[in-house]
Chain A
Amino acid sequence: MFTRTDDKITSTQASIFLTDAVLGAGILTLPRGVTEIVKTPDVWLSILFGGVVIILVVFIMTKLSQQFVGKTVFQYAKRIVGRIPGGILTSLLVIYFIVICGFEVRVLAEVTMYFLLEGTPIWGILMPFIWVSSYLILGGINSIARVFQIIFPISIFILIIAYILSTRIFDINNLRPVLSNGIMPVFSGLKSTILVYTGCEVVMVLVAHMQHPKQAVRAMITGISIPLTLYFITVVMVIGGMSVDAVQRSTWPTIDLLRSFEIAGLFFERFEFPFLVIWMMQLFCNFTSFFYSSSLGISQIFGLPFRSTVFGLMPVLFLAASIPQRINDVFSLGDYIGYASLGMFVLVPVLLSIVLLIRKKGLKQHV
């Protein structure tokens, strides 16, 4: 009854797609990553400022994509800067997506192996994940969006419940004093907060698939605001519940927050297990959106059939996830991805927009 032939998604689906692409492993590591740099309880301010910056970024990307209705960045980059430079730029973007894929699925495997399935080999977690994801991707963007629509409310519900329950150890004094060291630490934390929004580049793929591209700006800004809000709540609850001092000493602060209390009498006594199980589904969405974007990218840049690129990418993703040796390598990979996202932003949307503006307004060319 929902079968569609045009393989387009509605604006709501596009919003959820973007939310799922951004909301991933960051929620597990973000509180520590930012607190380590800021070192005061003002972390939540950094998240808010970072969010404002990212909304601007998403706005630029959407506006750029709206200029070429029905075309993804992999297609219109060639038209703006020419075949070869466009190909190189978008290939970088594809590599970037592949690395994120590897990172997300690796964080999932690390957390699962430590807290849930002690003894399961890493390939036993990675491989089913990649298989199921590729099966979904072969169904096209519409199937992906529909799966996301199912998973999204469940994962958000469990997340919110977990945070509500953690109010029992929440202490507002852990979030005080505000701005004790001035505004500078907040800005230094900005760098690492922007990192958690990595993945918003899928906007440049998403807009092309929207049924009503005119609604793209609103849909995309909604899509990025949801993770922004959730990240904000996460940081407030984790620091309020554990204090800055404990967060700095915890490898997985969000999980430790949920491990810090027990609720007798409720259906679950310990909330880290439902949270982790549900978050696996969320990470699956996250992984799928990048897997989809990268395989779509390769097939469009090099003119290859989509099915073959999906199958071809499977071993590559597995290798990308297996490369980091130590947990430090995983975390520093996360940092590199963050820096790369800044580079990607300057290289792809900004550069393309400027060239487009010059050619359209300056040289009066028809692109």
Chain B
Amino acid sequence: MYRGNQIKVGSALLLSACLLSGCWSSKEIEDQAIYTGLALDVGTEDKEKIKQMEQLGSPPMENVLTGTIQIVPQKSFGSRGNASSNQQKPYVNSVQSGNSVFEIMRMYSLIRDRPVIGHHLKVIVLSTDLLKKYAIDQLLDFTLRDNDIRPSCLVFLARGQAAEAMTMNQPADVPSFHIKDMERNRFRNNKIMKGITLTNLNALMNTKQSYILQTIASVKGKDEFYGAGIIKGKTGKWIGNLDSNDVASISWIRGTGQGGLIKTLDERDQIITYEIKSMKSKIIPKVKGDSVSFHVEIKSKGRLIENWDAEQNFSKVPYLKAAEKRFERKLASEIQTILDKMQSRYKVDVSGFGKQLSLSHPQVWKKVKDDWDDVFSRSSVTFTIDLTITDYGSSTG
């Protein structure tokens, strides 16, 4: 009896020693290189490198695209105590070229001591030049399939080189985190679009309808959200840029803006500014036979936040009403501009008219959805704007 128990206890201990000793697939985080940003550009011809590689006997290289990954922290140990060293950037950008995104990802293993892992990829930036040549579906296919990269990652376009968006001249900032956090300023300015995640993009690509993605411009070494790039649904390629005001106008049409302003001039050509407190919009599709038309009702409440006109006093209702009219006129002209751009210049619908039609007239939508961009550019769009200035801040002047 006693002997039997001993064997039982012994084997139980032996078994638990095997089972409890740790995770089979564990990898130490110190041994990994975590990348938080990925930028894709048109392949660059690095003559020096090609020459050297050919001397090594490498087959001719075909560099369709260049990938830049941003790795943080560069080293978790090392020159930390060294105060005299000039300030080091907290990240390192690694560049490789190839003709498949996955190939590029695995090329980093050839040049880096630690494997790169994508668990914390936050931002993907694509250059518009690259999107002129290749469809966005092709470029992002790998990131949607990979098991490490989460679909919560945000996708942006870059004016110019995407790799530039991954560098900044502010030493303490990591550009990919910076971009991700800038997106949260949406409540302050409707020139910032709601961040499009890979999941959103997957749905957008599957609908085959056109859409816009926020573009990042690198201005004097700083990343800045400036406007948006249009992706044509049918081809998945980039066809043109919209500027910042267009992005704001689209937020008015969709009623998705959370903050921002309208700036205009009063009758003495002095600046007056309206701060958006709320905006609502209703896109009403009207179907008559084969023709589709839309009416957009925009309503907003806000505050008169800035007045450069010393002779004007806005504490009286008639003046407020006059100011409302001026803001409405300004906004109407902005909206007319984006409508003209969408309908005449690019012939695309990127402001949710199609989605609204599909919700209210699903049968009609089924007929027109395959060439919706064309149908939309021929349909008439009218709109009414109703702004209300509810208050004028803590100054009555």
Contact B206 A262 (CB under 8 A): no
Question: A-facing mask of B340-375, CB < 8 A → 1, else 0?
Answer: 000000000000000100111011001000000000
B150 within 8 A of A: yes
Contact B147 A173 (CB under 8 A): no
Question: B-facing mask of A107-135, CB < 8 A → 1, else 0?
Answer: 00000001101111000100010000000
A270 within 8 A of B: yes
Chain A interface category by residue count? 20 to 34
Question: Which segment, of B64-72, B196-204, B313-321, faces chain A?
Answer: B196-204
Contact A124 B24 (CB under 8 A): yes
Question: Which segment, of A5-13, A67-75, A176-184, A349-357, faces chain B?
Answer: A176-184
Contact A260 B203 (CB under 8 A): no
Residues of B within 8 A of A249 (CB): 144, 202-203, 206
Question: Which segment, of A153-161, A191-199, A240-248, faces chain B?
Answer: A240-248
Contact A261 B360 (CB under 8 A): no
Contact A177 B207 (CB under 8 A): no
Contact A177 B25 (CB under 8 A): no
Q: Which of B152, B362, B366 meets A260, CB within 8 Å?
A: B152
Q: How far is the CA of A256 from the CA of B340 in the complex (A)?
A: 38
Total cross-chain contacts (CB, 8 A): 64
Residues of A within 8 A of B362 (CB): 177, 180-181
Q: How far is the CA of A256 from the CA of B359 in the complex (A)?
A: 25
Contact B23 A118 (CB under 8 A): no
Q: Which of B25, B144, B359 meets A118, CB within 8 Å?
A: B25
Question: A-facing mask of B181-204, CB < 8 A → 1, else 0?
Answer: 000000000000000011110111
A250 within 8 A of B: yes
Question: A-facing mask of B358-397, CB < 8 A → 1, else 0?
Answer: 1110110010000000000000000000000000000000
B102 to chain A, nearest CB (A): 16
B357 to chain A, nearest CB (A): 10
Q: In this complex, which of B147, B150, B199, B362 has the most chain A Cβ atoms within 10 angstroms of its Cβ?
A: B199
Q: Which of B147, B151, B200, B358 meets A177, CB within 8 Å?
A: B358
- Closest B residue by C-beta to A179: B362
Question: B-facing mask of A85-118, CB < 8 A → 1, else 0?
Answer: 0000000000000000000000000000011011
Contact B197 A260 (CB under 8 A): yes
A180 to chain B, nearest CB (A): 3
A49 to chain B, nearest CB (A): 20
Given A177-B359, A242-B199, answer yes or no on A119-B206 (Cβ-Cβ < 8 Å): no
Contact B25 A243 (CB under 8 A): no
Q: Which of A119, A243, A259 meets B24, CB within 8 Å?
A: A119
Contact A173 B355 (CB under 8 A): yes
Q: Which of B19, B25, B198, B363 meets A120, CB within 8 Å?
A: B25
Contact A177 B360 (CB under 8 A): yes
Given A117-B23, A177-B358, A177-B362, answer yes or no on A259-B151 (Cβ-Cβ < 8 Å): yes
Residues of A within 8 A of B197 (CB): 260
Q: How far is the CA of A286 from the CA of B1 in the complex (A)?
A: 37
Contact A176 B359 (CB under 8 A): yes
- Closest B residue by C-beta to A251: B145
Q: How far is the CA of A19 from the CA of B204 in the complex (A)?
A: 37
Q: Please name 13 further chain A to chain B contacts, defined as beta carbons within 8 Å, in addition to the given A249-B206, A259-B151, A262-B150, sorted by A numbering.
A: A118-B147, A119-B24, A119-B25, A173-B359, A180-B358, A242-B199, A245-B203, A245-B206, A245-B207, A246-B203, A256-B199, A257-B199, A262-B152
- Name A residues whose Cβ lies closer than 8 Å to a Cβ of B: 114-115, 117-120, 124, 128, 169, 173, 176-177, 180-181, 242-246, 248-250, 256-257, 259-262, 270
17 CB-based A-B contacts, threshold 8 Å: A117-B23, A117-B25, A118-B147, A120-B24, A173-B359, A177-B358, A177-B360, A177-B362, A180-B358, A242-B199, A246-B199, A246-B200, A246-B202, A259-B151, A260-B150, A262-B150, A262-B152
